[in-house]
Amino acid sequence: MHVQGESLWRSLGGVRREISVGVSVGIHADTAALCRTVGPYLEQGYRRIKLKIRPGCDVEPVRALRAAFGDFPFMVDANSAYRLADAPHLRRLDDYNLMMIEQPLARDDLLKHAEPQPQLRTPVCLDESIETAVAARWVLKLGRCRVINVKVPRLGGLAATLELHEAGPQAGVPFGAVG
């Protein structure tokens, strides 16, 4: 799309002409099936893998993928499946050089999400918790979340997203915006 003869990515202040793509992989019955799913994605050139996890199906699948495919950009998404008391268990994921653990706790409690990050080397990423620009500002003010996954429509559109896009990096929190 072009705005006044300029591409949209450039009009919005983008710095890259191309971005690397990733794929999200669901929970599998066993690690062999998971590896059979992930292997072809990596061969096809997907640059990042995001694996869905839940209690009882987390450390072992992560370990299996690292053992099978080595060091590739890799993150997990908990979809609010854990409780604050699970932070010591989630710390076991620190051994696998993950980019982030997305949305480990319930989406409606920003204060609880501030608590596990100091216990983890792996960055905690908030996604479903960031329903408004106000929620994003609170997360930045708390200073404990290290990544925010922003959904443009959920925040109220492009203007609100661009405003927060500046605030995040100033607070040391990278934003990943998704249309």
Query: Where in the sequence numbering do the catalytic residues fall?
Result: 52, 151
Cα–Cα distance for residue pair 119/162, rounded to 1 Å: 31
Distance between CA 122 and CA 119 in Å, rounded? Answer: 9
CA distance 4 to 150: 27
Q: Token digits for 119?
A: 């216990």
For residues 139 and 130, the answer to whether their CB atoms sit within 8 Å is yes
* Cα separation values, 116 from 1, 44, 57, 86, Å: 41, 35, 20, 9
Residues in the chain: 179
